[in-house]
Amino acid sequence: MELVIDIGNTRIKYAGITNGQIQTKGYCTEVELHSRLNAFSGKVDNIMLSTVKPVSEAILIELTECCTNNLVLSSDMEMPFKNDYETPKTIGADRLALAAGGMFKFPKKDVLIVDVGTCMTFDFVDAKATYHGGAISPGLQMRLKALNEFTGNLPLIALQEPINLIGRNTKESILSGVVNGMLKELDGIIDVYKLRYPEMKIILTGGDLAFFDKKLKNSIFADADTLLKGMYFILKQNANKKI
């Protein structure tokens, strides 16, 4: 079994994967990570860590205690695709994993991977296995917080489905603007990509997947585990190259 761990902006995701199939997965906090690693100790052959934050020495020690064969995902690794990004050193580990996850699902196809999490990201890999880049914009929670923090009177609203298209009060207006605005942004950007790549496959993933997977006019493949699968794909390619 291989263990992949993703430390994101808001939570930690992990999965135990064998022969490309997820056997177990879950979420935890950084405090809980120690107990999760203890549960996997002696049961995994390799570990890959992906993080959007600096890796603490304590976490690296805990990884080694769980399994001596461990890797931290970075752009220095060999990837299952050609990286054509102009500044490859600046690309986040999460986006590399998402690109690999798209190829894992749709090899030899043009594929756009859309992650709707803390940020909304678009990552495009063509049918010749070349990663081109994409786009980054604020996610739902970030948009709600921005309206509160950068205005004098707008409240911080908890995320939920908009009741009406036409908001009848401030709360309804914010939810309509944020959720419906992001929905139209998603469909609009996908439309432009499809003009260039008509046979393109689209994968939607991320923590806010449930808000959009049934609402988009475009045909998409919804998969909450795209990032974890992409990490596994990269891990298998680099398992014997300890970093």
pLDDT per position as a tens digit, 131-159: 999 999 999 999 999 999 999 999 999 99
Instruction: Write down the catalytic residue from 6, 45, 76, 94.
Output: 94
Write the secondary structure of the chain as one string of H (helix), E (strand) and C (coil). CEEEEEECCCCEEEEEEECCEEEEEEEECHHHHHHHHHHHCCCCCEEEEEECCCCCHHHHHHHHHHCCCEEECCCCCCCCCEECCCCHHHCCHHHHHHHHHHHHHCCCCCEEEEEECCEEEEEEECCCCEEEEEEEEECHHHHHHHHHHCCCCCCCCCCCCCCCCCCCCHHHHHHHHHHHHHHHHHHHHHHHHHHHCCCCEEEEECCCHHHCCCCCCCCCEECCCHHHHHHHHHHHHHCCCCC
State the pLDDT at residue 45.
92
Residue 94 bears catalytic tag: yes
On whether the pTM is more than 0.85, the answer is yes
In this predicted model, what pLDDT tens digit does every residue of 64-112 receive, in sequence order? 889 888 899 999 999 999 999 999 999 999 999 999 999 999 999 999 9
Question: If pLDDT is split at 50, 70 and 90, which confidence band does 215 have?
Answer: confident
